[in-house]
């Protein structure tokens, strides 16, 4: 029985979800690599920027919509590709998809989804991206890309930071098998033929040629996920990517990185406007979203909060998570005198020195 | 039964008040927006400046008086406009007014006062400012401004940071209705006609033209409250304001701002001496007052401590709160070798780096 | 019954003393002004410098002696002037004097000593300074100065930071009368005639002329105590002082200053070699002594540890406190490759950034 | 009975070892000088650098090998010279030696080993360095150097930071005799003739001439251990040393130094490529190793973790400690896109500011 009557922020959602989920599942979702320094830093780093409130700028008509890869979303928050939504709710990705559609945003389906990405695409109306890895087997990649396009997926997200298995100590201590009870139906063929590499990840031998090749055959916009340096943003540009998600995989792969929001400016500068920069990692408040946009992100993605929403109330829970973020973004935009997403510029924030 | 026999500082006043007030009322007064980062930072930021004590400067005759808008106050501490003093004491604003008068300072009456501002003005001798918002209905504004001038109010304080309702999670969890038991008599007409905006706040569509208009018809000095940037200080100057209160509303509206004392220098620089700069937020010690003055504030306002004083002992409590601040200001001035408020200059303090 | 079998550092001495002393006496000695931020910072600031160990420099013959006002002391640690040693031990200043003499260092006797400074001078062989304030009554000052010189006191220490009474909240809460059980025999005449000023302190109307006058008639070296700025060091030089003790009175008078060790460099630079700079405040380890010397202090003074030594074991306790510091200074000098006090230069340390 | 079923990182090893070892032995190994500020800082300082992950660089074939003094080791982690391995396991240095050999790394035998260094060299195949001090008696040094070379020791490590006994308060409180139950057979002759100096350390009168002399007669590479400044690296170069271990003796000799990883860059710059720079201090994660290499270290040494491995499972425990580090180094190299040790350059990391 939860001690929180009604979740009013995303921390409440996590607290309730923690009570409801088996410990090992909660730990799998909440945890990260080794000492979880990056998990923590992703979150805490937002506090190192402060808002500069502005007054008397007519904020009676706020507009939270923005565009992502040229198409409109109702708010600058998308659903990050995360494996196995059924861990959190029996309806899994289907619930998530309906929630994203209802909220007017995009759902990026994971290569490790607990639902077949074809069935999912047919299950409801809404907007989808498909995430995959640089697989060892190019035939599987070709097949996925062709089907994704045919099924109406709008973009391909290629995750680049997961070619080597991480050390997640909570999972080791929990003796956690990360497929238990979850059907990773999409990965069957690829997984069975891979040897010695990260199950659920990509090919450690992959190079920039692989990304170029994916772009060349995808017939869809390609977004590179897991970029943390300006150098790699430049290489993404050269490889033909249309967007980059600045991400350290929620601190789940390599510990001891900076927070994603800390490297965002470097990424934005390196992009030189040639591709869109998004961000994930540590977003828990509307304030975080506005800070990321002020630093140059086109939009942000949420990962773990998606699971907390599912665990608390399935589709409705995810909708509520997005609603809370929307309300908090509205307050922040209004109080900073920024009636549109486009008006959230660099002067909206300032560094807050440690006290 | 309080565990503190006799309050000797403002923290004691808060501790005793917390024991005496209903939790939901205490939380309403003490709390702030979302994570209360700004509430905390407002307070803690003072510690990032240190005093530079000076010796042998003849401090036998200290003078704490200063001028505000050209008129003398006995100490550089004024009473900020805060709604509903009856939350803390049945005599509400009447008690506060008598205390301010007894202490030789100014009481800024809130638009959300739990007393009629006309009755209040007639109840005692003393000095008053009237606070209002950029109301949607200009007739109400005209009426208030005319009556204020007729009643002897000395200045108009226009609060600019409250056009959009904040998210105060303590209140949400306490299911707090912020009018309970309190008669916001002044706002009746305005509130009944407003739709979709912040009850108890201003018009989200207001612009700088509204402030110009208020100034043009007020016939009194106008002080803009809720300014946190140099840009807005400049716009206040252009709009004809006579003073600015650097304020983040005690961290009650937008979380994640800098502390008010941290943006004070920016505001003072932008004012270029054309208007007076005041500050509120986090003042709990005489030392804080002296630091704010050293950074260029003409005077400071106290908000929450006013309620703690009322809750502990009504009029006498507020007098004691001001007396404590006076004593602490005296010690600080004496030990810094600054016998007058005017002698508290920038060399009085230095940045104290984090250790 | 103490839980520490045998004190091995100055923190142990304090812990044992705390157990043995009445709470109100412990609080009087250990406490400071208002929030005790400066008490804490005085101590913690030492950690913001780190040693740069040097090797293979022949440290087989360490020499801890140095000179103070041209005369040799066996170690660069002197006894600060502190009132009422009988608070800690019935033998009071007599015990302290014997300990200082045995350790080859100087004891600065307080104007508020719990012993007559004439009797003290006659009681044992050893070296003494006499501390006084800029008294309101110049005749008393003349009398003290004449007697001090006749009695063999080697220097006069004039405390300049105590012309206004501080706010010490521990004492207020303890209803502490700071003379209880202690005979401040030296101050009798002066105290009885002072009105409205700090009992036990100096004249708030004093100016630099007073220090000049004291120097002009003292016939002894004059050391100014309680200086925290370069400006005041320069004024001390102009007034003819021979030395300056950088001190914030152990955080007991004005809170919210920098640590003494943080302003030491400013003081040393302002002295331009024309007078000696000493330091008190927060010294608890030999390492602190070496850091202060590396920053330019000629020697340091200990205050509170003196009381802990007295409370634990009277004369022997004070000797042990000094012995512990000596042993710790030796280790530090040896490991930094600095066999003499003169060889402890600025390259011995480096700033240690916050982690 | 340990509460940790199976150690999965070096912190677990310490936790289990702490349960198994007598408190006084644990304290001797884990503790450091005075306040243990440097013990703590050595560890915490690693967090002030963050990784810059790089993607798509083909990390399918990682090579952790590197060279030390021109010879190959399988991973850039060596065993630091530490006295008395029998404190942790009855097989003592013999177990350590077998573990180091099995892991393809070098074991530096301490002058205070609990085994005869000749017997040890004969007991197994593997690679050894011999550590000694600048002894007072040059004949002993000559004898050791000759025997070391004859026995196949590959290098001589001269510890330079231990000429003066430290103050280790845990040991004092535990009344710890640091030879109890351990046969320091190698030091017998030297120790019996030394007077007034650090038992188990070196000659406090030693100078750079002594290091030059050792190098001149050693007939083996000489590595200077205990260097913390650029100046001393330059002097090591002049004295003919082949390598330098940047070390503060694990915070066991002088407290209040910077962390070793914080002075690494200074040391590397001073070396100008003329000698190899190694590091010990605080290494507990593979990430720490990679950071040290990125800052210019050729390899690192582990000290305390060696004892935790021995205490948990003797030879197997040490092997497991090294295996864990290897796995963590692999993850870090893979995720930073650095397939070889040589490719770990300065761009691999960035300063992580305090939050």
* pLDDT digits 0-9 by tens, D29-77: 999 999 999 999 999 999 999 999 999 999 999 999 999 999 999 999 9
- Comparing alpha-carbon positions, the chain B residue that sits nearest to A56 is B207
Classify residue B336: in a domain, yes or no: yes
Domain of residue C189 covers: 10-348
- For the annotated catalytic residues of A, the residue numbers are 249
CB pairs under 8 A between B and C: 97
Chain D interface, Cβ < 8 Å to A: 8-9, 46-47, 49-60, 285, 287, 291, 327-328, 330-332, 334-336, 347, 350, 352-355
Torsion over CA: B251, B255, B261, B266 (sign): negative
Q: Is the pLDDT of residue D196 over 50?
A: no
Q: Which residues of D touch C334 (CB under 8 A)?
A: 163-164, 204
Q: Is D253 a catalytic residue?
A: no
What do you get for the CA distance between the two ends of chain C, in Å? 39
Three-class DSSP category at D339:
coil
Classify residue D79: in a domain, yes or no: yes
Instruction: Tell if the CB–CB gap between B254 and A51 is shorter than 8 Å.
Output: yes
Cα separation, A205 vs B60, whole angstroms: 80
Instruction: Tell if the CB–CB gap between D50 and A256 is shorter than 8 Å.
Output: yes
Task: Report the interhelical angle of C260-271 vs C37-44 (nearest 10°).
Answer: 70
Q: Active-site residue among D85, D89, D249, D253?
A: D249
Chain B interface, Cβ < 8 Å to A: 33-35, 37, 41, 44-45, 47-48, 134, 160-161, 163-167, 169, 172-173, 197, 203-208, 210-211, 224, 226-229, 231-232, 235, 248, 253-258, 354
Neighbours of chain A (3+ CB pairs under 8 A): B, D
Phi and psi, residue A14, nearest 5°: -65, -40
Structure tokens of C127? 């070296």
Classify residue A5: in a domain, yes or no: no
- Comparing alpha-carbon positions, the chain C residue that sits nearest to D205 is C58
Instruction: Tell if the CB–CB gap between B206 and A8 is shorter than 8 Å.
Output: no
- Comparing alpha-carbon positions, the chain A residue that sits nearest to D288 is A256
| DSSP string across D82-141 | -S-GGGT-TTHHHHHHHHHHHHT-EEEE-TT-SS-HHHHHHHSSSEEEEEE---S-HHHH
From B287's Cα to the closest Cα of chain A, the distance in A is 17
Closest CA to C205 of C281, C125, C153, C134: C134
What was the pLDDT predicted at A180? 44
Q: Which residues of B touch C226 (CB under 8 A)?
A: 53, 55
What was the pLDDT predicted at C187? 63
Q: What is the pLDDT of residues D276-294, one digit of tens each?
A: 999 999 999 999 999 999 9
Q: Which residues of B touch A335 (CB under 8 A)?
A: 161, 164, 166, 253-254
Instruction: Tell if the CB–CB gap between B58 and C227 is shorter than 8 Å.
Output: no
CB pairs under 8 A between C and D: 97
Please state, as a whole number, how many other Cβ atoms lie within 10 Å of the Cβ of residue B326. 21
Classify residue D5: in a domain, yes or no: no
Q: Which residues of B touch C134 (CB under 8 A)?
A: 56
Nearest to D53 among A134, A165, A228 (CB): A228
Rounded to two decimals, the pTM is 0.96
Three-class DSSP category at A107:
strand
From A264's Cα to the closest Cα of chain D, the distance in A is 13
From C66's Cα to the closest Cα of chain D, the distance in A is 22
Instruction: Tell if the CB–CB gap between A336 and B169 is shorter than 8 Å.
Output: no
- Which pLDDT band holds residue D180 (cuts at 50, 70, 90)? very low
Chain B interface, Cβ < 8 Å to C: 8-9, 46-47, 49-60, 285, 287, 291, 327-328, 330-332, 334-336, 347, 350, 352-355
Classify residue D283: in a domain, yes or no: yes
Q: Which residues of C touch B334 (CB under 8 A)?
A: 163-164, 204
Classify residue A2: in a domain, yes or no: no
Instruction: Tell if the CB–CB gap between C56 and D207 is shorter than 8 Å.
Output: yes
Instruction: Tell if the CB–CB gap between B54 and C229 is shorter than 8 Å.
Output: yes
Cα separation, C184 vs C197, whole angstroms: 17
- Which pLDDT band holds residue B187 (cuts at 50, 70, 90)? low
Q: Is the pLDDT of residue D163 over 80?
A: yes
Q: What is the pLDDT of residues B266-317, one digit of tens each?
A: 999 999 999 999 999 999 999 999 999 999 999 999 999 999 999 999 999 9
- Structural domains counted in chain A: 1
What was the pLDDT predicted at D245? 98
**What's B314's domain CATH number?**
3.20.20.70
Chain C interface, Cβ < 8 Å to D: 8-9, 46-47, 49-60, 285, 287, 291, 327-328, 330-332, 334-336, 347, 350, 352-355
Q: Which residues of D touch C325 (CB under 8 A)?
A: none
- Comparing alpha-carbon positions, the chain C residue that sits nearest to B62 is C204
pLDDT along chain A (355 residues), means of 10: 81 98 98 98 98 98 98 98 97 98 98 96 94 95 97 98 97 80 54 51 95 98 98 98 98 98 98 98 98 98 98 98 98 98 98 96
Q: Say which residues have a Cβ less than 8 Å from residue B177's Cβ, sequence separation at least 6.
A: none
Mean of pLDDT over chain D: 94
Helices (H), chain B: 10-20, 23-30, 37-44, 92-103, 117-123, 138-151, 169-173, 188-193, 208-218, 230-239, 260-271, 286-294, 304-335
Closest CA to A211 of A196, A227, A190: A227
CB D255 within 8 A of CB D32: yes
- Which pLDDT band holds residue D199 (cuts at 50, 70, 90)? low
How are beta strands B155-159 and C77-79 bridged, if at all? unpaired
Q: Strands of chain C (E only): list them.
A: 49-51, 66-68, 71-73, 77-79, 106-109, 127-132, 155-159, 222-227, 243-246, 276-280, 299-302, 349-351
Average pLDDT over residues D141-165: 97
Q: Is the pLDDT of residue D5 over 60?
A: yes
CB pairs under 8 A between A and D: 97
Regions of chain C with pLDDT less than 70 = 1-3, 178-185, 187-199
What was the pLDDT predicted at A199? 63
CB A300 within 8 A of CB A77: yes
Instruction: Tell if the CB–CB gap between A47 and B37 is shorter than 8 Å.
Output: yes
Q: Which residues of A touch B33 (CB under 8 A)?
A: 331
Strand pairing partners for B63?
A: B340
Please state, as a whole number, how many other Cβ atoms lie within 10 Å of the Cβ of residue B69. 20
Nearest to B50 among C35, C226, C257 (CB): C257
CB C222 within 8 A of CB C141: no
Cα separation, D83 vs B350, whole angstroms: 49
Q: What is the pLDDT of residues B13-67, one digit of tens each?
A: 999 999 999 999 999 999 999 999 999 999 999 999 999 999 999 999 999 999 9
What was the pLDDT predicted at D193? 42
Classify residue D353: in a domain, yes or no: no
- Looking at chain B, the whole-number percentage of residues with pLDDT higher than 90 is 91
What was the pLDDT predicted at D223? 98
Q: Which residues of B touch C224 (CB under 8 A)?
A: 55
Cα separation, D67 vs D200, whole angstroms: 31
Classify residue C4: in a domain, yes or no: no
Cα separation, A30 vs C145, whole angstroms: 73
Q: In degrees, to the nearest 5, what angle opens at C-alpha D11 toward C-alphas D6 and D12?
A: 15
């Amino acid at each position: 029985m939860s001690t929180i009557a009604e979740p009013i922020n995303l921390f409440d959602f996590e607290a309730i979800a923690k009570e409801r989920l088996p410990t090992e599942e909660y730990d799998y979702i909440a945890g990260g690599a080794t000492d979880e320094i990056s998990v923590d830093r992703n979150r805490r780093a937002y506090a190192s920027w402060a808002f500069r409130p502005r007054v008397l700028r007519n904020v009676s008509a706020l507009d939270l919509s923005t565009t992502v890869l040229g198409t409109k979303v109702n708010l600058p928050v998308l659903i990050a590709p995360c494996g196995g939504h059924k861990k959190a709710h029996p309806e899994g990705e289907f619930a998530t998809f309906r929630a994203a559609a209802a909220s007017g945003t995009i759902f990026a389906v994971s290569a490790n989804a607990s639902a077949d990405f074809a069935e999912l695409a047919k299950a409801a109306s809404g907007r989808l991206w498909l995430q995959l890895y640089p697989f060892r087997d190019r035939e599987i990649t070709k097949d996925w890309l062709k089907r994704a396009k045919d099924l109406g997926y709008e973009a391909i997200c290629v995750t680049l930071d997961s070619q080597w298995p991480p050390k997640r100590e909570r999972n080791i201590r929990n003796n956690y098998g990360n497929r238990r009870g979850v059907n990773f139906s999409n990965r069957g063929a690829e997984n069975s033929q891979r040897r010695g590499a990260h199950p659920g990840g990509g090919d450690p031998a992959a190079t920039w040629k692989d990304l170029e090749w994916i772009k060349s055959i995808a017939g869809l916009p390609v977004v590179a996920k897991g970029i943390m340096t300006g150098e790699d943003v430049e290489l993404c540009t050269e490889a033909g990517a249309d967007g980059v998600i600045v991400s350290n995989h929620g601190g789940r792969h390599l510990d001891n990185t900076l927070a994603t929001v800390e490297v965002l400016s470097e990424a934005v500068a390196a992009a030189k406007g040639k591709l869109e920069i998004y961000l994930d990692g540590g977003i828990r408040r509307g304030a975080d979203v506005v800070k990321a946009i002020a630093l140059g992100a086109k939009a942000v993605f949420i990962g773990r909060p998606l699971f907390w929403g599912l665990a608390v109330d399935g589709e409705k829970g995810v909708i509520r998570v997005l609603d809370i973020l929307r309300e908090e973004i509205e307050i922040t935009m209004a109080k900073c005198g920024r009636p549109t997403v486009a008006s959230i510029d660099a002067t909206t924030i300032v560094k807050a020195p440690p006290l």
